[in-house]
Amino acid sequence: MALDEILITRAIIERYTEKLLANLDVDVAIVGGGPSGLTPAWILASKGWKVAVFERKLSIGGGMWGGGMMFNELVFQEEARPILEELGVRLRPAYPGYYTADAIETVTTLASQAVKAGATIFNCISAEDVMVRDDRVCGLVLSWTAVEIAGLHVDPLTIRAKCVVDATGHDIEVVKIFLKKNQPVTLFTPSGGIGGERSMWAEVGEKETVAHTKEIYPGLFVSGMAATATHGTYRMGPIFGGMFLSGKKVAELIHERLTAEW
């Protein structure tokens, strides 16, 4: 069979355009393709909700690829074990209550399960703003990451979503954008604003990351390290159970909200 470069190009453009058009109006838009973004994408898509994930980098997986200091093994505590087993990630007992998993297997399995469940993942796309209507976050303003890096003056495009999740990790990109452009607003946090991430304390950090996974403004949720940084609690370092547990919790909160309202 002779290959035609134009047909190859046409196939890419047609299929990507179909995918993009199909995700201009979604139930859930998740910014950040790390564990606290991919986990709710997998769970919510499995429940039948229309989910799109937008990751600014070329690769997805967030901090999981490098494990701890580029030792690509991940540590999970007992509480997270059922999620990993349901995904099909192989766990190895390390110490009582601690398990390890291969970072590459974990990332690829989670991403694959999310896509197979029906979520759509877009990489190389950054959220530069949010849509707000009647004091509710209801969508995202998106641009190519390459445009952002190059500093080009190119107008963005928008997508509509019933719920938006900031899963951008330490940087809490969506929350910061929302606060910057919509003052005066008050978040559902102790200070009414961003608390800031504190130093490492794994035991407290893991618990409080999950505890502070919530809706912080109508339509806007935080998960994973974004929850930590928004509420002002401790970071937990190279243990990843809290990221999956946080993703599971935000999925449950959003599922309840969508079921009740739509």
Distance from C-alpha of 222 to C-alpha of 36, rounded to nearest angstrom: 9
- Per-residue pLDDT, 164: 98
Contact 45, 29 (CB under 8 A): no
Percent of the chain exceeding pLDDT 90 equals 99
Report cis status (omega within 30 of 0) of the bond before 35: no
Percent helix, strand, coil in the chain (nearest 5)?
45, 25, 30
Tens of pLDDT, residues 136-157 = 999 999 999 999 999 999 999 9
Q: 177 — phi, psi (to 5°)?
A: -60, -45
Residues facing 234 on adjacent strands: 198
The answer to whether position 66 is within a domain reads: yes
Distance from C-alpha of 35 to C-alpha of 244, rounded to nearest angstrom: 6
The answer to whether position 65 is within a domain reads: yes
- Per-residue pLDDT, 75: 98
Q: Residue 153: how many CB atoms within 10 A of its CB?
A: 5
The answer to whether position 16 is within a domain reads: no
Tens of pLDDT, residues 104-138 = 999 999 999 999 999 999 999 999 999 999 999 99
- Per-residue pLDDT, 162: 98
Distance from C-alpha of 220 to C-alpha of 214, rounded to nearest angstrom: 9
Domain count, the chain: 1
The whole domain housing 160 covers 29-261
Distance from C-alpha of 83 to C-alpha of 74, rounded to nearest angstrom: 14
The answer to whether position 51 is within a domain reads: yes
CATH code for the domain of 105: 3.50.50.60
The answer to whether position 4 is within a domain reads: no
pTM of the model: 0.97
In whole numbers, what is the pLDDT of the chain averaged over residues?
A: 97
Name the pLDDT band for 77 (thresholds 50, 70, 90): very high
**Residue reference for tokens 């935080």:** 222
- Per-residue pLDDT, 54: 98
Name the pLDDT band for 262 (thresholds 50, 70, 90): confident
- Per-residue pLDDT, 129: 97
Helices (runs of H) and strands (runs of E) counted in the chain:
9, 13
Sequence-distant (≥ 6) Cβ neighbours of residue 103 within 8 angstroms:
64, 65, 66, 67, 72, 73, 74
Tens of pLDDT, residues 15-63 = 999 999 999 999 999 999 999 999 999 999 999 999 999 999 999 999 9
- Per-residue pLDDT, 94: 98
The answer to whether position 169 is within a domain reads: yes
- Per-residue pLDDT, 251: 98
Tens of pLDDT, residues 170-197 = 999 999 999 999 999 999 999 999 999 9
The answer to whether position 17 is within a domain reads: no
The answer to whether position 6 is within a domain reads: no
Instruction: Report residue 114 as tokens.
Output: 């999310």
Name the pLDDT band for 253 (thresholds 50, 70, 90): very high
